[in-house]
Copies of this chain bind each other. A is one copy, B any other.
Amino acid sequence: MKCEIIAVGTELLLGDIVNTNAQYISQRLPDLGIDVYYQVVVGDNLGRLIETIKLAGSRSDIIITTGGLGPTDDDITKLGLSKALGVEMRLDKPSLERIREQFKRYKTAMPIINERQAYVPDGSKAIENDNGTAPGTIGEYDNKIYIALPGPPKEMIPMFEEKVVPFLKNKSDHIIKSHTLKVIGIGEPAIQECLGKIITEQTNPTVALYAKDGEVQIRITAKTQDPYLADKKIEDIESRIRNILGADIYGRDEDTLESMVNQLLRERKKTIAFAESCTGGLISSRFTDIPDSSVSFLNGVVSYSNEAKINMLGVNRETINKYGAVSMETAMEMASGIKKISNTDIGMSITGIAGPAGGSETKPVGLCFIGIALDSGVESYSYIFSGNRLKIKWQASTKVLDILRRAILGLDIK
């Protein structure tokens, strides 16, 4: 089946945002046996949108739009769909009810214009939006499937995964199963070398690598008519890959580094506290993105100033004067300090230079010292991360979480 993805939004044509939605959907469809032939971006202009949808309908089997489902006059996707398909708009009462409920929860009156969001092209079903007010729509006309998804990725992605993927799976005549291994501590080129023929000689399952935010994902995809056989094929390849990469594989599919570290601590009934300088609270924030993280995470300190390191964490003023706030020694005292004041099993710390200013020849931007204090003693490690301030913060926080994971599992730190 051929698919065309139409993004609707003048903000894309002005270059205010980049079309990551098209990329996301394009990445996912091949697993469902669907090929993307075109991605199109069109502005908030009804005439051009209608022409674009008609053209897509003439050359593709599945037409997916993103964006333009909001309540304002600019939001014309559903109207464009109905005009292109030659159907009326229909008020979907359950959607209206849901939108009203959402406003009730905010304790604000629903503006009249939000009612517009509850209209769908006649013959299409509304798709519930669990992360916003705009419902999506899905419908079949002349053997072609038309799907409208919201523009914000935070709404689009869950709706696509939870509502659209199961629908499209049913339409496909073979099944494609895929699993993703999550890898950290080894780069994409090195993995490519390690795995060698497992990647290049596989056709079913296929093995593909994606690097993302300092991690690498290995996607194993099998295409069969028998689900049992697909699982078997994937398992075989997965165990070959696990034999090679070992503990650098931290999880699978929905696992995140945050969720795995949370789970490991909970299983072992261990508690943790973080003392952060250069990451500015990002580590605590990522850790607490996981529900029930309060079981293990008791306390965090963002000791940005020297005084905070001294007063809050008990770092010796002399240590800072002698070795600097960004030093192995300060990192170790921060780790011991946060463990002690928080009365946790583990205390972790980071101090570094996030940039863009503050670097020197001996201590360049990106240099970070990470400390980990356990009942058995304190260790510290140094790294140099590259990129802009936000990239350095992110990589540094990832490294802290991975060190924690390896420490809990008794693995060597890398």
- Residues of A with Cβ closer than 8 Å to B? 10-20, 22-28, 30, 35-44, 48, 52, 55, 70-74, 102, 105-107, 111, 113-114, 130-131, 152, 154, 178, 180, 187-190, 192-193, 199-200, 208-212, 219, 274, 276, 279-285, 287-289, 291-294, 297-305, 307-308, 311-312, 341-343, 354-357, 366, 384, 386-391, 393
Closest B-chain residue to A287, C-beta based?
B280
A14 and B39 form a contact (CB under 8 A)? no
Q: Mostly helix, strand, loop or mixed at chain A's interface?
A: mixed
**Residues of B close to A388: CB separation below 8 A:** 130-131
B18 and A20 form a contact (CB under 8 A)? yes
A23 and B27 form a contact (CB under 8 A)? no
Report the Cα distance A187→B36, complex, angstroms.
Answer: 36
Contacts A43-B37, A71-B189, A189-B71 given; indicate if A284 touches B280 (C-beta within 8 A): yes
Can you sample 20 A-B contacts with CB below 8 Å? Answer: A13-B39, A15-B25, A22-B41, A38-B40, A39-B41, A105-B386, A106-B384, A111-B187, A113-B193, A281-B281, A281-B282, A281-B284, A285-B393, A289-B390, A289-B393, A297-B304, A298-B304, A299-B302, A299-B304, A300-B300
Report the Cα distance A66→B210, complex, angstroms.
Answer: 15
B38 and A188 form a contact (CB under 8 A)? no
**Residues of B close to A154: CB separation below 8 A:** 391
B18 and A19 form a contact (CB under 8 A)? yes
A356 touches which of B281, B291, B305 (Cβ 8 Å): B291
**Residues of B close to A356: CB separation below 8 A:** 291
A300 and B298 form a contact (CB under 8 A)? no
A111 and B308 form a contact (CB under 8 A)? no
Known: A13-B39, A44-B208, A111-B187. 13 other contacts (CB 8 A): A10-B208, A14-B26, A15-B24, A16-B210, A37-B42, A37-B43, A105-B384, A280-B285, A280-B287, A284-B304, A298-B308, A299-B305, A308-B342
Report the Cα distance A388→B55, complex, angstroms.
Answer: 38
**Residues of B close to A192: CB separation below 8 A:** 72-73, 113
A291 and B72 form a contact (CB under 8 A)? no
Report the Cα distance A357→B298, complex, angstroms.
Answer: 17
Report the Cα distance A303→B52, complex, angstroms.
Answer: 53
**Residues of B close to A285: CB separation below 8 A:** 279-282, 285, 302, 393
A386 touches which of B35, B102, B190, B389 (Cβ 8 Å): B102
**Residues of B close to A389: CB separation below 8 A:** 289, 291
A12 and B39 form a contact (CB under 8 A)? yes
Report the Cα distance A27→B17, complex, angstroms.
Answer: 9
A18 and B16 form a contact (CB under 8 A)? no
